[in-house]
Amino acid sequence: SQHQAPRPAPRLRVQGLAGPGLAAALDFEVAPGEVLGITGLVGSGYEVVARWLAGLEAPAAGRLLLDGRPLPWGHPRPLRRAGFQAISGDRAASAFATRAVRENIFAEALHGRAGSLRAERARTADLLRRFHVWPGDAAEAPIAALSGGNQQKVLLARALEASPRALLMLDPTAGVDIGARGELYALLARETATGLAVVL
């Protein structure tokens, strides 16, 4: 008889999540390589859950654990440092619109580090190829000059440049055409295959 491989230990675990906008307490877990989708009608609570998970607000109750380690609510920086990144489909709030694509990827405020300009340029060129950003020579162009889908690919590259263990994506294909939407999901599948845990 065939034996099914045991499910890996959860990478991300949420227990007893509760607060305004949520009708009942929420529990879930995501293992490495899994994508968990949370959805509902506007106002059903998924937006507030995303804000809590991104560290933008704190819930009334609940625990958030990454690889068994408790993380604080209401503070995005400790979440990022621990390896939990977030991406929003609201590019106006997520991207530095007038800054270059390279500067968006290596924003010191997000990663707390800065390399040499030469290293940043080389790494940006590599990421634009890897994430199929068009045009491929857009490293020094303002990110706002790119299409919505290509901006979103840059934001995905920025989040993954930090080598996260888990990723929150809030409506990442909002305002993105169908072709770019397919590309974004293919890129996401590629990253989850390496063990990334995703809440979508």
Q: What is the pLDDT of residues 14-36, one digit of tens each?
A: 999 999 989 899 999 999 999 99
Instruction: Quote helix, strand, coil % in the chain, to nearest 5.
Output: 35, 20, 45
Q: CB under 8 Å to 96, separation ≥6 — which residues?
A: 103, 104, 107, 143
The answer to whether residues 196 and 33 touch, using CB atoms and an 8 Å cutoff, is yes
User: What global pTM score does this model have?
Assistant: 0.89
Q: Which residues of 74-98 are buried (b: 16+ CB within 10 A; e: fewer)?
A: eeeeebbebbbbbbbbebeebbeee
Each residue's pLDDT, cut to its tens digit, for the chain (200 residues) gives 566 767 789 999 999 999 998 989 999 999 999 999 998 887 788 899 999 999 999 999 999 999 999 999 999 999 999 999 999 989 988 999 999 999 999 985 555 555 688 989 999 999 999 999 999 999 999 999 999 999 999 999 999 998 999 999 998 888 899 999 999 999 999 999 999 999 99
Q: What is the pLDDT of residues 168-188, one digit of tens each?
A: 999 888 889 999 999 999 999
